[in-house]
Every structure is written in structure tokens, then in C-alpha cells.
Amino acid sequence: MEFFSTWVPHAGRSFGGRLSLFGAKGVQAAEPTAVAAKDITHSKNIDIVLAFCKARQMRDLETQMSFIADDGIYHNMPDDPSVGGAQIRAMLGGFLARSDATEIIVHNIAQTRSGTVLTERLDRSRIKGKWIEVPVMGATEIMNGKIKHWRDYYDDLRLRAQMG
């Protein structure tokens, strides 16, 4: 498995909404730095996953869908997988309809020798004024520059307990 020293930008609450950075090892920078995207070295597959996460955080369904293969699979374990563009669009659109804000905090990201991108994240959604936080481990397979299979593993009981 190859690991990349990648700074991953996300919207952080601790900085009052300003850009904050988390390293691939989960270390938080004291202040945002001026690292230009062109200075970050990692794979195209990691770029695709980070761009998809950014689009999800920006709540931009059309951009999210632009990263998904027409015959792609999005599988939130333990739920049944969403297969194909129409089902994935409905599932992602459902997330947007149920919430009014989203944060995707990538703590660690790596790519395996086979090209699968692994993400350790905290996915946050504000639903009816309450933030729901779900630690997630994801595995994403990319083929021909598109997400072919997105798998997220999380504690479903923890999620349901927060949703009440």
C-alpha cells in the first residue's frame, strides 16, 4: 500500500468557517497554509476522490454525478447498493433533501497498488438543526477516470442513535 503526504482542505468549525487543513496523518495545522494545489503530489485517483468529497460538501449534486461512471455502484454498508446513475443520483439527492449542511473531513487518504483509494473520514450532516457525525472508512475503485465502485463502512447503530 502506498501512502501519500497529502494536505486535505476542508471547512473546519474550529477556525470559524475559515479553511483549515488536515494532513494525511490526521495532524491539524495551527493556521491555514498557502500550499497551492499544484504543489500537492498524489495520484489522479486521489484527486478524483477529493474532488468528489468537495462537491459533496458543497452540496453540488451535478458535480458529484460527473465523477460517477454510468454503471457505477455506491454502497453504504450495510444498506443495499445503489447501482447505476439513476439510483446513485436518487440516493445522493436524498442526502441533500434530508439535510441543510454537509462537512466531509478527510483524516487519512491512501491509494493501494491496485489503485483503490482508501479514506478515513468524518462525514457530518446537519438535519433539522442537529449535526449528525459518522466516522467512515471508505474504499473507492476508479476506472477510466470515473468512480466505478464507492464503498463506505460505518457504524449504522451509531448513526441511527444520533438520528433518534
Number of DSSP helices (H) and strands (E) in the chain, helices first: 4, 9
Task: Please give the residue range of the domain that contains residue 147.
Answer: 2-163
Question: What average pLDDT does range 99-128 have in this prediction?
Answer: 95
Question: What average pLDDT does range 125-148 have in this prediction?
Answer: 96
Residues 6+ apart with CB under 8 A from 135: 120, 121, 122, 154, 155, 158
Q: Which three cell numbers stand for residue 26?
A: 490526521
Write down the pLDDT at residue 6. 37
Question: What average pLDDT does range 65-80 have in this prediction?
Answer: 95
CATH code of 126's domain: 3.10.450.50
Write down the pLDDT at residue 49. 97
C-alpha 34, offset from chain centre: 23
159: confidence class by pLDDT, cuts 50, 70, 90: confident
Cell 489522479 identifies what position? 44
Cα atoms found within 13 Å of the Cα of residue 5, Cβ hemisphere only = 2
What is the rounded CA–CA span in Å between residue 146 and residue 56?
16
Write down the pLDDT at residue 81. 97
Burial track 71-100 (b if 16+ CB lie within 10 A, e otherwise): ebbbbbeeeebbeeeeebbeebeebeeebe
Bridge partners (DSSP) listed for residue 144 = none
The total of structural domains in the chain comes to 1
